[in-house]
Structure 1
Amino acid sequence: MTVHRTVSPRLNALGRAAGVAAAAGAGALAYGTFIERNWFTVRREALAILPAGAAPFTLLHLADIHLSPGQQRKTRWLRELAELKPDLVVNTGDNLSHADAIPPLLAALGPLLDFPGVFVPGSNDYYAPRLKNPLGYFAGPSRLPSGTGGRRPAVLDTAALHAGFGVRGWVNMTNRAQSIPLRGIRFDFSGVDDPHLNRERYAGWPRGSSSQDSAPHVRIALTHAPYQRVLDHFTAERADLILAGHTHGGQVCLPGYGALVSNCDLPTWRAKGLNDWEVNGSTTPVNVSGGIGTSRTAPFRFACRPEAVLLTLMAKAAA
C-alpha cells in the first residue's frame, strides 16, 4: 500500500521564507566580513571653534584601529591618510588587536607620525582580546577589558606602544593636560585614561600665565570611551571640542535606524558623528568616531563603514 503525505501550502511557504531568511543572513554576514569591514572611508566635518580671524585648521581623528598582523588593506589605507596632510592627528585609542601588532601598527602609522599628534589609550591598548560570544556585545557594556570574556586578560606592552608614538613626537595625554602651539594657535588639551576600565582621572586644563584664559586658545578634550559622566565633566569645564571613539559606530547597524548598541551609556543615536552635548546650560560639540577596525572575535561591519574623521576647524564669527 502506498501512503501519500501532503504538505500544506502554509508549511511550504514557511519553509521557503526560512530559506530566504537564512540565505539573506548568510549573505549579510559575508558582505560584512569580506566587504564592508575593509570599505574604509574618511568622514569630513567642519566646526567653527577657532579664535576669530584664524585660518582653517585640519584635525585627523583616528580611533579603534584594532590592528592585527597581516591586515594589509588596513595598513595601506592608514598610510595613505598622510596624503590628507593634517595639521594635527588625534588618536583616541584601541590601536591593537594582537600582542604582536605593535611593530606593524607603528609601520602603518609611520607617515602620519611625521605630523603633530596627541593620543589617549583604550582598553585594547592594555589587554589583548580573547574569544567570546559576539552576541554578548548586545547585553550591554562590561567593566572587564574588552574581549576578555571574563577570563584573565593577556597584558600588552603598552609602554612600547606609547614609546613608539612618543619618539616620533606624539604627546601622551593620559590623565594629563598640556598646551601645544600649532600654526599660531594655542591648543589646550586635557585627556583621560579609558573610562571603560574606570581609569579616568581629570587633570583640568593646563595652567600658565594669569591672563591665559583671556588669550586666544582652543580647549580640546580626549577620551576613548564617551561615557556620559566624562562628557558631562568636560562640557561643564568648558571644552570647545570633545573627541572619542570606542563605540565602533555600533559596528552592526540597521539601515534607516542606526546603531543597536554603543557599548557604553551613550544613547545609540549618538554612537557615531558630530553632535552637541549639553549639561547645566553648557554645550560642547562631541565627535564620536565610528572607528577603523572591528573586534577580533567579531570581524564584520554592517551599515557602518570603518572611518577616519577629518575635522576642519574654522574661526568663530567676530563678536
Structure 2
Amino acid sequence: MKLTPKVTKRLLNIASAIGAAGIAGAGIAAWGHAELRKFELKQVSLPLLAPGTLRGRDEFTILHISDLHMIPGQDTKIAWVSALDALNPDLVVNTGDNLSDAHAVPDVLRALGPLLNRPGMFIFGTNDYWAPRLANPFSYLFKRRNTPSYVDLPWRDMRAAFIERGWQDATHRRLEFQVGPVRIAAAGVDDPHHDLDDYQQIAGAPNVDADLSLALLHAPEPRVLAQFAEDGYQLSLSGHTHGGQLCLPGSTAIVTNCGIDRARVQGLHTFGGMLMHVSNGLGTSKFVPFRLFCRPSATLLRISERPD
C-alpha cells in the first residue's frame, strides 16, 4: 500500500511522540534511581514528657530507622546510616524490613554497627522473613496485598546479632526499661500488613509509672493503631510505606501500600489521640529501585518536657 504524504507525516509525528515519551521516561527513571542515594535526616520536636523528667537536660532523642531493604554492595547507604551514630541518640528504634537479599545480613550489621552499641529495640517486617519478589505494580493502585514469596531469609541470624549487641526484640512483647532519666514502656507486634500480628499478647495500658510509652508496628495499619491508641500509648513508630515512594510533587503520595490514608503516609500525625510517626524508610525493593519526590530518610525525634 502506498502511503500518501499526509499519512506519512502523521506516522512520523506519532513515531516522534513515542520516541520523545521514551526519552522522557528514561530520564525520569534515571532521576528516580539517583534519588535512592540522596539520604535525608528529618527532625521532629515533641513535648511529651512531664516537667522535671529530664532532670535539667533539654531533650531525649530517639533515632527512628526503617526499611533498609539492604542489598550487598550498597556502600553509600552503609556509610550514611553508620554516620548517624554521631547524632548521639539516646535510643534507636528499628521498625523492620532490613533485608532485600539473602546475603545482606553482614551489610545490615555494617550499617547499624555503631548504633548497636546504643540502647535500641526492633520489630521485623515480612521482607525480613522472606525474599522480595517481582509484583504486579497495578496491585498497589487497587490496594491488593501482594503474596509474599515465602522464600526464607536469614532473619534469625540478624535477630541474634541484634540481641547479642543489646537491642531488645519488641515483637509481641511488652518492654519496660530506663534510658538515662526516662522510664520507657514499649510494646510491639509482628507485621500487620500480612496479618502476622496478635495484639492480644500485649493488650492493655502501658505502665502508668512510665515517662514515655511507645508502640511499634512495621506497617501503620489502622486496625492495630486503633488498639494501641485505645490502650493509651503516646507515640507509635512504623515504616513500610516508604513515604509513598513514587510521589507527585510536594511528596504527595499516590498509594500507601497499606490501610492508612495517603495524608498520613509519612511523617508525624495523630491517630485516635495518639501521635504516630511513619518513616520514609532508607531503601526500596530490589525490583523497584526508584523514588520520586520522596527521598530516603531517617528521623531524629527530639522528645522534650511539656510546658508547665
TM-score (norm 2): 0.91
Whether 1:157 aligns to 2:159 is no
Partner in structure 2 of residue 258 of structure 1: 252
Letter in 1 for 2:100: S
Q: Summarize deviations over 1:54-95 as a string: whole Å, max 9, x none.
A: 230110001100001111111111111111111100000000
Letter in 2 for 1:38: R
Matched residue of 1:103: which SS?
helix
Q: Summarize deviations over 1:140-187 as a string: whole Å, max 9, x none.
A: 241622xx3xxxx21122221111100000000000101110111111
C-alpha deviation, 1:6, in angstroms: 2.5
CA contact (8 A) 1:190 1:204 kept: no
Partner in structure 1 of residue 30 of structure 2: 30
Alpha-carbon distance between aligned partners in 2 of 1:118 and 1:4, rounded to the nearest angstrom: 72
Matched residue of 2:121: which SS?
strand
CA contact (8 A) 1:247 1:272 kept: yes
Alpha-carbon distance between aligned partners in 2 of 1:47 and 1:10, rounded to the nearest angstrom: 60
Q: Summarize deviations over 1:10-61 as a string: whole Å, max 9, x none.
A: 776655544433322211111111x101111111111111121223011000
Matched residue of 2:44: which SS?
strand
Whether 1:307 aligns to 2:301 is no
CA contact (8 A) 1:143 1:196 kept: no
What number of residue pairs does the alignment pair up?
301
Alpha-carbon distance between aligned partners in 1 of 2:103 and 2:30, rounded to the nearest angstrom: 27
How does 1:211-230 map onto structure 2 within 5 Å?
A: 213=208, 215=209, 217-230=211-224
Partner in structure 2 of residue 198 of structure 1: 195
Matched residue of 1:111: which SS?
helix
Partner in structure 2 of residue 73 of structure 1: 76
Pair 1:135–1:26, CA change in 2 (3 A): farther
CA contact (8 A) 2:244 2:256 kept: yes
How does 1:69-218 map onto structure 2 within 5 Å?
A: 69-142=72-145, 144-145=147-148, 148=149, 153-202=150-199, 203-204=202-203, 213=208, 215=209, 217-218=211-212
Alpha-carbon distance between aligned partners in 1 of 2:79 and 2:210, rounded to the nearest angstrom: 38
| Fraction of identical pairs, as percent | 42
Partner in structure 1 of residue 40 of structure 2: 41
Letter in 1 for 2:296: P
CA contact (8 A) 1:39 1:306 kept: yes
CA contact (8 A) 2:69 2:98 kept: yes
Partner in structure 2 of residue 64 of structure 1: 67
**Deviation above 6 Å: which 4+ runs of structure 1?**
8-12
Matched residue of 2:93: which SS?
strand
Matched residue of 1:258: which SS?
coil
C-alpha deviation, 1:7, in angstroms: 4.5
Pair 1:186–1:156, CA change in 2 (3 A): same
Partner in structure 1 of residue 20 of structure 2: 20
Pair 1:4–1:76, CA change in 2 (3 A): same
Alpha-carbon distance between aligned partners in 2 of 1:101 and 1:3, rounded to the nearest angstrom: 57
Alpha-carbon distance between aligned partners in 2 of 1:260 and 1:4, rounded to the nearest angstrom: 44
Alpha-carbon distance between aligned partners in 1 of 2:260 and 2:191, rounded to the nearest angstrom: 15
CA contact (8 A) 1:90 1:119 kept: yes
RMSD: 2.1
Partner in structure 2 of residue 287 of structure 1: 277
Pair 1:58–1:27, CA change in 2 (3 A): same
Letter in 2 for 1:289: S
Letter in 2 for 1:21: A
Q: Which runs of 5+ in 1 are unaligned?
A: none
Pair 1:173–1:26, CA change in 2 (3 A): same
Letter in 2 for 1:307: S
